[in-house]
């Protein structure tokens, strides 16, 4: 980004890095930036940590910056995995069954009851110490012993451990929702899309995504924004479970990496819509857009090499029935003023491809990315020829078929769970050395 011809200036962040628990350094830094700019500027956080820190100093910066109104530490609340689980249960938004254990023994028992492998998350991942061995924001655990050991590192991690039922990945399981909202959760521009390729495969960032309207995803995103009174940009991640239910797995209170996918026919995206709203300008009614394709060239190449091919163009899925008049969010529209009945037709139309790096009038970011990609590839090749293992290499495992579920009835396999600290009276004792391998693993 620093090489783009459209970037006018770069302002350094706080010395020593960003610490949301010590906002005075960010306050001092942003005050200096404001004085150099010389007039009020729009301030939009581009990652979770920045969003949390900015919200804590926003009341003192209202005269210097135009900032979305997010009171009561809202970004930290929705980025907190435990709080998000409670909000989903409160507002009936489907969410993976989640347990917050209160001891190592409870963690082991919950892992067994939820079904191995199980997803482990730290409630506040921004508090994880840098460089801590074996502590990552999200992990896939394959044994009850792993769950017990991970819980015992809670103090080191700085927040609570959550265990969630694992939802296996597939070709139509990963969806996302992006939106820009004015005060009160009023949508300015929003849409849902499907992740068609990711890097790392099945578990990582969007390499290829498509804007595809889906009423269930859109309704859940709009409902959350309205209930929260959310102003600003958000990025939600959903996974479709084995019963076809979309479950919210992550809430990011900032633009997603693929936010340019959601640009209408005139080029209006969620960041531009937010800029217009914060500066008191009229936001145009969005027109067109569904069917567009986003490609992150570096990740798409790697994912295609690993997965075999780039996804082919597919016809839009049949539209699902719209919510009834009395259902929550029934009056909401993803594209304000747009005809919702025309969405399937627009999605089936040939969509324009939005590349993450390449632009004919601004080649330097693409060339810099290409140089870095080739440099990393050459470095790995040299290490392979010398027989030297890459430092810090990690082995990731992704389950590609539904794992065996132990200690849970078939009726409860797809139910929406809520956070709790106990495995329940019907849980089984945890065997000391239970096999934890899923049906099939893809290892890289």
User: Considering the chain, what percentage of its residues have pLDDT values greater than 70?
Assistant: 77
Enter the tokens of residue 154.
Answer: 């809670």
**What is the Cα–Cα distance from 362 to 3, expressed in whole angstroms?**
9
Strand partners, 181: 187, 232
Interval 431-443 mean pLDDT = 36
pLDDT in tens, 389-412: 555 444 444 333 344 444 444 444
Average pLDDT, rounded, for the chain: 82
pLDDT of residue 432: 41
Strand partners, 119: 140, 164
pLDDT at 444 over 70: no
Enter the tokens of residue 296.
Answer: 């992150």
pLDDT of residue 158: 94
**What is the Cα–Cα distance from 383 to 401, expressed in whole angstroms?**
34
The residues, any chain, with a CB within 8 Å of residue 380's CB and separated by 6 or more, are: 390
CA-based nearest residue to 46, from 182, 232, 183: 232
pLDDT at 105 over 60: yes
Quick count: other Cβ atoms within 10 Å of Cβ 378?
Answer: 10
pLDDT at 195 over 70: yes
pLDDT of residue 385: 76
pLDDT of residue 21: 80
Using a 10 angstrom Cβ sphere, with 0-12 exposed, 13-18 middle and 19 or more buried, the burial of residue 229 is: middle
**Which of the pair, 279 or 442, is modelled with greater confidence?**
279
pLDDT of residue 380: 81
Looking at beta carbons, which pairs linking 129-138 to residues 24 or more positions away fall under 8 Å?
129/156, 129/157, 129/158, 132/156, 132/157
pLDDT in tens, 273-307: 999 999 999 999 998 889 999 999 999 999 998 87
Quick count: other Cβ atoms within 10 Å of Cβ 173?
Answer: 19
pLDDT of residue 378: 87
Interval 167-194 mean pLDDT = 95
How do beta strands 118-122 and 138-141 pair? antiparallel
What DSSP state is assigned to residue 435?
Answer: -
How do beta strands 353-355 and 232-240 pair? unpaired
H/E element holding 179? strand 174-182
Tell me the range of 55-69, 300-314, 381-395 where mean pLDDT is highest.
Answer: 55-69
In the block, tokens 């690993």 appear at 306
H/E element holding 31? helix 24-37
Interval 54-78 mean pLDDT = 95
pLDDT of residue 312: 56
Query: In sequence order, what E strands does 183-302 have?
Result: 186-199, 205-211, 232-240, 246-252, 293-295
Length of the chain: 444
- How far does the chain reach from its first CA to its final CA, in angstroms? 30
pLDDT at 262 over 90: yes
CA-based nearest residue to 82, from 112, 143, 128, 125: 125
pLDDT of residue 235: 98
pLDDT of residue 322: 39
C-alpha torsion sign, points 54, 55, 60, 63: positive
pLDDT of residue 308: 54
Give the pLDDT band of residue 433 (cuts 50, 70, 90): very low
pLDDT at 67 over 60: yes
Residue 6 in 3-state DSSP?
coil
**What is the Cα–Cα distance from 149 to 373, expressed in whole angstroms?**
37
pLDDT at 379 over 90: no
pLDDT of residue 358: 95
Q: How far is CA 334 from the centre of its chain?
A: 19
pLDDT of residue 310: 59
Greatest alpha-carbon span in the chain: 67
Quick count: other Cβ atoms within 10 Å of Cβ 400?
Answer: 14
pLDDT in tens, 132-172: 888 999 999 999 999 999 999 999 999 999 999 999 988 89
In the block, tokens 């399937």 appear at 344
Give the pLDDT band of residue 225 (cuts 50, 70, 90): very high
pLDDT in tens, 116-133: 999 999 999 999 998 888
Interval 313-342 mean pLDDT = 43
Quick count: other Cβ atoms within 10 Å of Cβ 341?
Answer: 9
**Which of the pair, 357 or 306, is modelled with greater confidence?**
357
pLDDT at 375 over 50: yes
Using a 10 angstrom Cβ sphere, with 0-12 exposed, 13-18 middle and 19 or more buried, the burial of residue 375 is: exposed
pLDDT at 442 over 60: no
**What is the Cα–Cα distance from 262 to 217, expressed in whole angstroms?**
15
């Amino acid at each position: 980004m620093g090489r783009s011809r459209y970037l006018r200036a770069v302002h350094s962040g706080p010395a020593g890095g960003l610490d949301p628990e010590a906002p005075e350094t960010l306050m001092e830094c942003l005050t200096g930036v404001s004085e150099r700019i010389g007039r009020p500027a729009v301030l939009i956080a581009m990652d979770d940590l920045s969003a949390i820190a900015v919200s804590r100093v926003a009341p003192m910066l209202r005269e210097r910056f135009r900032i979305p109104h997010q009171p009561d530490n809202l970004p930290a609340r929705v980025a907190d995995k435990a709080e998000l689980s409670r909000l989903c249960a409160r507002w009936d938004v489907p969410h993976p069954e989640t347990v917050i254990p209160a001891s190592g023994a409870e963690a082991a028992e919950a892992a067994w009851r939820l079904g191995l492998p199980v997803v482990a998350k730290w409630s506040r991942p921004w508090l994880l110490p840098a460089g801590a061995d074996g502590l990552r924001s999200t992990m896939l655990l394959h044994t009850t012993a792993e769950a017990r050991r991970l819980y015992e590192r809670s103090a080191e991690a700085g927040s609570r451990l959550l265990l969630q039922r694992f939802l296996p990945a597939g070709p139509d399981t990963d969806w996302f929702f992006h939106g820009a909202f004015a005060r009160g959760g009023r949508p300015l521009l929003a849409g849902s899309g499907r992740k068609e390729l990711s890097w790392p495969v099945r578990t990582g960032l969007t390499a290829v995504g498509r804007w595809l309207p889906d009423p269930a995803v859109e309704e859940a995103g709009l409902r959350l924004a309205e209930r929260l009174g959310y102003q600003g940009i958000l990025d939600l991640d959903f996974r479709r479970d084995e019963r076809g239910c979309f479950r919210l797995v992550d809430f990011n209170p900032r633009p997603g990496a693929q936010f340019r996918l959601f640009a209408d026919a005139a080029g209006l995206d969620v960041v531009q819509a937010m800029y217009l709203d914060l500066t008191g300008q009229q936001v145009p009614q969005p027109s067109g857009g569904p069917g567009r394709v986003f490609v992150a060239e570096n990740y798409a190449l790697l994912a295609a090499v690993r997965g075999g091919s780039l996804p082919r163009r597919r016809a839009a899925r049949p539209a699902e029935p719209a919510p009834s008049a009395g259902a929550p969010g029934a009056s909401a529209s993803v594209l304000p003023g747009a005809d919702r009945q025309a969405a399937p037709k627009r999605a089936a139309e040939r969509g324009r491809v939005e590349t993450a790096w390449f632009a004919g009038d601004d080649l330097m970011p693409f060339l810099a990315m290409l140089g870095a990609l080739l440099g990393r590839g050459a470095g790995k090749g040299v290490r392979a020829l010398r027989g030297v293992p890459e430092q810090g290499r990690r082995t990731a495992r992704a389950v590609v078929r539904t794992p065996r579920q132990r200690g849970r009835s078939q009726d409860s396999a797809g139910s929406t769970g809520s956070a709790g600290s106990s495995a329940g009276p019907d849980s089984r004792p945890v065997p000391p050395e239970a096999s934890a391998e899923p049906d099939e693993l893809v290892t890289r």
